[in-house]
Amino acid sequence: MPETLNTAVCLPTFGDFDARTLGELARAAEEAGWDGFFCWDHVLWDPLGRGVADTTVALTAIALATSRVRFGPLVMPLARRRPWKVARELASLDRLSGGRLALGVGNGDDVDFTPVGDPAPARARAAVLDESLELLVRLLEEEGPVSHEGAAYRVTDVRLNATAVQPHIPVWVAGWWPHRRPLRRAARYDGVVPLWPDFAMPSPKELDECLEVIREARRADGRGEDPFDALVWARTEGPDDDRPMAYPEVGATWWVEAFDPREDDLDAVRRRVAAGPPRTA
């Protein structure tokens, strides 16, 4: 089990949190000692009614504003994006940042799908997500031309030459506990982002129960000893909050500080980011 946690900030892309501001906050987070900086990914959901920043543009600003932190989307609903376009964007971001990108993916919510006719039922989205992930990894990592024929996509002899700095960009898969299917999907990749309603902080016992589903799946697949990231996405009370210290012993590798754009204004977020990460060791 890991001995300490990496710490990160994850911010929305609504209202005052535009691409320029996210870049500025990412620089402040890096200077304050955080290890990662992530942002949400929405297109249509706008709870403040003041506009939504494009995620790829925001990630570009974050990459250019920092030199050390890992960054990426938490999480990208991949079923509403074309895998070849995402592959091009991810490789470009990884090169721009010197190899610091991580890709968080998930099934998304109806609000970003139904109004524009994308796959709306959760089961249909999940099927597209699985196919998209498989195709995306191949486009990024295979040297030769890629061909694929599935229910959602048909690709013939596509060669993107989308070379990233990392031989493999980490893929972290999100899912709402206690649903098992997203956890088994995560077990096939590099990490998991288990979610509890309202950014509730799971107990270490609850997280351990969640991660055991993944450990069982990885052992069955012969990958039980391979490195695997497990994120705790919740809120702390500040840098003196030592509750995160209990999570590495059950397998957590990242603490992700949660914020809600409907409750946390820009000034409050600036103060929390500048104060530094919670105690993890």
**Domain residue ranges in the chain:** 6-275
pLDDT for residue 63:
98
User: Percent of the chain scored above 90 by pLDDT?
Assistant: 85
Provide the pLDDT confidence category of residue 167 given band limits of 50, 70 and 90. Answer: very high
231 CB-near residues (< 8 Å, 6+ apart): 74, 172, 191, 192, 193, 194, 252, 253, 254, 255, 256
Provide, rounded to the nearest whole percent, the portion of the chain with pLDDT above 70: 99
Q: What is the predicted pLDDT for the residue at 117?
A: 83
Residue 103, pLDDT above cutoff 90: yes
Please tell me the CATH code under which domain 6-275 is placed: 3.20.20.30
Going 163 to 221 to 176 to 206, the CA torsion angle's sign is: negative
The CA distance from 11 to 24, in Å, is 12
**What average pLDDT does the segment 103-125 reach?**
88
What is the predicted pLDDT for the residue at 109? 87
* pLDDT at residue 137, as a whole number: 97
User: What's the confidence (pLDDT) of residue 116?
Assistant: 87
User: What is the average pLDDT score of the chain?
Assistant: 95
The answer, yes or no, to whether residue 115 has pLDDT greater than 80, is yes
Q: How far apart are CA 215 and CA 252, in angstroms?
A: 12
Neighbours of 84 (CB within 10 A): 17
Q: Which residue has the higher pLDDT, 280 or 93?
A: 93
User: In this predicted structure, what is the pLDDT of residue 2?
Assistant: 63
State pLDDT tens for residues 22-59: 999 999 999 999 999 999 999 999 988 999 999 999 99
DSSP 279: P
| Residue located via tokens 């009614």 | 49
- Is the CB of residue 12 less than 8 Å from the CB of residue 258? no
User: Which pLDDT does position 1 carry in this prediction?
Assistant: 60
| Tokens of residue 60, six digits | 């570009």
Section 77-85 average pLDDT: 94
When pLDDT is cut at 50, 70 and 90, the band that residue 218 belongs to is very high
The β-bridge partners of 52 are 14
Q: Which amino acid is at 153?
A: Y
| β partners of residue 154 | 149
CA distances from 219 to 70, 225, 277 (A): 28, 8, 33
- Rounded to the nearest 5 percent, the helix, strand and coil shares of the chain are 40, 20, 40
C-alpha distances out from residue 273 to 27, 227, 233, Å: 10, 28, 15
Contact 217, 223 (CB under 8 A): no
- Residue 114: the pLDDT is 86
Quickly tell me which residue has 């402040």 as its tokens.
28
Q: Kindly report which listed range (90-99, 148-157, 254-263) carries the lowest average pLDDT score.
A: 254-263
Write phi, then psi, for 97 (nearest 5 degrees). -95, 0
Q: Are 105 and 78 spatial neighbours (Cβ–Cβ below 8 Å)?
A: yes
